[in-house]
Structure 1
């Protein structure tokens, strides 16, 4: 379940700034050596997830980073999240969103995605 949420709504929307070591053609676009390139975790997840439901059980999303920059505490974070959600529903089984999920407002930021506590005219797409 946690991985499905991380596929659909990664808390890190855009994060990984990389510099090409040499000129490279990326999806038909030339990225010259030394030019900073922002990798959108959200866009990558959308491209990799395929048809609805195919990302279920798949931990290949980038929410925890990747390669040498992967989060060293991801297993502990998974366990903490699972325990927190379990305890929440055990202690407050009637907990529910105050609004329909489609009506949630999202904070606009260059790197993170999170619901806003304050009303906003924009809606995350």
Structure 2
């Protein structure tokens, strides 16, 4: 009997984690569309952006002209928004490491020594993910 209760508890906890993740993603989608307006989102997923020795979890989206990273608080309100034009990524020294979660829940790490390489890796990974 205690084993069944423990199993039930584990199932409930997993369900709650899954439900809260989906709820947060839904709120992020709504806020993303508020931020980007009527731009077409080519790709979007939950992502981790490394900052120093830690990372920030948020929503990552690509439109035809911009790369967006949006971090939300636990209640779903926006805490941080990063909007970069592709030209800015290539021309500035904005080195970044980005972990993108694909639709199949595999995680891709994008890390490069320079921004041109990072951008090319980003585009290639997204093409691979989109083809899946």
TM band (smaller chain): under 0.3
TM-score, normalised by the number of residues in structure 2: 0.24
TM-score by length of 1: 0.24
Taking CA–CA contacts closer than 8 Å with sequence separation of 6 or more, which of the two structures ends up with the larger relative contact order? 1
Between structures 1 and 2, the one with greater strand share: 2
- Higher-helix-fraction structure: 2
